[in-house]
Structure 1
Amino acid sequence: MSEPREDNRDSEDATPLVFLRNLIPLTPSVKEFFEQKLGEITAARFCTFKTCPGCQTYVERADENNLCVHCTVCTAKKGSSYEFCWNCRRKWKGRAQIAVRCGYSDCNQIYPTMEKSNDRKRLAMIINNVNFKVSQFHRSGAEKDEESMGTLLEALGYDVITLNDLSAEGMEAAVRDFSQRNEHRYSDSTFFVIMSHGGHDGIYGINYDGNESDIFPVDKIFHYLNSENCPGLTDKPKIILIQACRGDTVSIRNTGYGSVFIQSLVKVFIEHCHVDDIVELFRKVTLYFEEAVKKTNFPYQMPSLDRTTLAKKFYLFPGL
């Protein structure tokens, strides 16, 4: 049994930051980072915080029985009192008082959205077939759609996996592998975007030559992303976007700026996704698409919403 020795460290050395500082030198910026994170962890032990939808700063909920939460930062910036609903995270609607519900009738009918953090792993996939085996099928301008969708999804907080020029077999392998990604366990939703030629039977792979070959059935997308094959996304919104001919009318695409559908969708999402749920966004896309087509000499056509299984409203909350 050894004799006890005197510990000459200061009393503050018991904190993790000081302990770390004694092991390695910390630059001012690194020290500030650790202090901020430790502060957040310590505060979380005693208080409950969420980000304000108006300014994205952390706000404490002082009364757990009150859904009406006051943000001092927004109030100071706007010059008037600003409150938001703790549950649905929208600007407060109704009388600003102690309340168990806000003025939105759908407050309890919204899919939960995870806040930005290192724990959130939103993942999206884009498959874009541009260069086909038969040169006459090349999809010039599709690069613009890929760029626009990628930028939009990244702005919405998704890490985007982009794959190009796949056969039907390659597309099936891609969606199958995507469904098994571990990130989905730590996500609240996903987007799966596929852009190519297509027909009644499905999406065409790059080996399509005009005959009924190299076709990827659309049903396989739903098969691989269902709860059984993609458990990480169970009860989470899965938005599947298909830019392809699906029937007798061709899908309008401009070689200079991309397809009417994708460009309309991106524009509508940028302008309205901070206030509208996904179904309302698609309605506005359809309206915008209709107006855009009327300005051209192309045959009249409209995008279609094939499958809707969302039981609640899905808001993208781009500020979170």
Structure 2
Amino acid sequence: AGAKRDSQNLKILFTRMGYYVKLHENYNKTQTLTELKDIQTNPQLCRYDSFVCFVLSHGKDDCSFYTMGSGETEELNIDDVRYHFTNSACRYLKGKPKIFLFNFCRGNIKENVNNVEQDFIPVQNSDAPQDMLTLFASIKYFSAARDIQYGTIFVQAICKVFAEHAHNTEIIDLYRKLCKEMQSMGGTTAEQQSYCFKKYFYFYPINIEHYQEAINCNLEY
């Protein structure tokens, strides 16, 4: 129930912010890499000004997460995702903001949070990534918190903060608000990682009142 709620809330949020949203669920490692390659080489990316990739999974360690397919679990590294979109690997997104959000445990150390479950289950590249901003649900070595019924604290906080502030707040300031919101919700500490992300990046959501209302309804306990 919680994982499904996360996907629904994110789809509502980013669709109402003007993004073309595609959901891919329960992919194994091969399917995930194939989909990343398909996205990387899609000339339609020329039409877009930014790219957002959100990964919801279980973590192996601070930089690896599990994929799932046919009852088997395989792991991927976060750079297996990000390095598909370096300037030389994906010319259609060269110089454009690329934002990655990873929601998985990065270790088994638990923060002192209440009423949540800790969601933990024990490449060759041609250039360094640029114009990339990555947000993690927890800091290195720590597990990420989730509510069994309503989804992860990270996603709930993102949907609330972005719905209220994305129309007039730069993304680094959104991150600061996200940290405060997660703390108030009893969540873990989010981490931000920048690879030469030089841009002042703003989302420009449409129909703000409508998508904020939809998300609020979906987040109500």
Instruction: Output the TM-score relative to the length of structure 1.
Output: 0.51
Give aligned pairs, total: 173
RMSD: 2.1
Q: Secondary structure at the match of 1:160?
A: coil
Does 2:58 align with 1:197?
Answer: yes
CA 1:194/1:149 → structure 2, altered by over 3 Å: closer, same or farther? same
In the alignment, is the contact (CA less than 8 A) between 2:18 and 2:206 conserved in 1?
no
Does 2:76 align with 1:216?
Answer: yes
In the alignment, is the contact (CA less than 8 A) between 1:264 and 1:285 conserved in 2?
yes
Moved over 3 A (4+): 207-210
Residues 67-120 of structure 1: per-residue CA shift (max 9 Å, x gap): xxxxxxxxxxxxxxxxxxxxxxxxxxxxxxxxxxxxxxxxxxxxxxxxxxxxxx
Deviation at 1:169, TM superposition (A): 2.1
In the alignment, is the contact (CA less than 8 A) between 2:45 and 2:93 conserved in 1?
yes
Partner of 2:145: 252
Q: Secondary structure at the match of 2:189?
A: coil
Partner of 1:225: 85
Partner of 1:309: 196
CA 1:246/1:208 → structure 2, altered by over 3 Å: closer, same or farther? farther
In the alignment, is the contact (CA less than 8 A) between 2:166 and 2:204 conserved in 1?
yes
Partner of 2:167: 274
Higher strand share: 2
For 1:315 and 1:306, the matched residues in 2 are separated by 17
In the alignment, is the contact (CA less than 8 A) between 1:168 and 1:203 conserved in 2?
no
For 1:160 and 1:228, the matched residues in 2 are separated by 24
Does 2:128 align with 1:241?
Answer: no
For 1:287 and 1:315, the matched residues in 2 are separated by 19
In the alignment, is the contact (CA less than 8 A) between 1:141 and 1:258 conserved in 2?
yes
For 2:203 and 2:54, the matched residues in 1 are separated by 16
For 1:176 and 1:259, the matched residues in 2 are separated by 28
Residues 207-239 of structure 1: per-residue CA shift (max 9 Å, x gap): 5989xx610111111110111111111111111
Identity %, equivalent residues = 25
For 2:144 and 2:75, the matched residues in 1 are separated by 17
In the alignment, is the contact (CA less than 8 A) between 1:202 and 1:217 conserved in 2?
yes
In the alignment, is the contact (CA less than 8 A) between 1:152 and 1:270 conserved in 2?
yes
Partner of 2:155: 262
Unaligned runs of 5+ in 1: 1-139, 294-299
Deviation at 1:306, TM superposition (A): 2.6
For 2:195 and 2:157, the matched residues in 1 are separated by 20
Unaligned runs of 5+ in 2: 109-141, 208-221
In the alignment, is the contact (CA less than 8 A) between 1:208 and 1:214 conserved in 2?
no
Deviation at 1:257, TM superposition (A): 1.1
In the alignment, is the contact (CA less than 8 A) between 1:289 and 1:302 conserved in 2?
yes
Q: Secondary structure at the match of 2:194?
A: coil
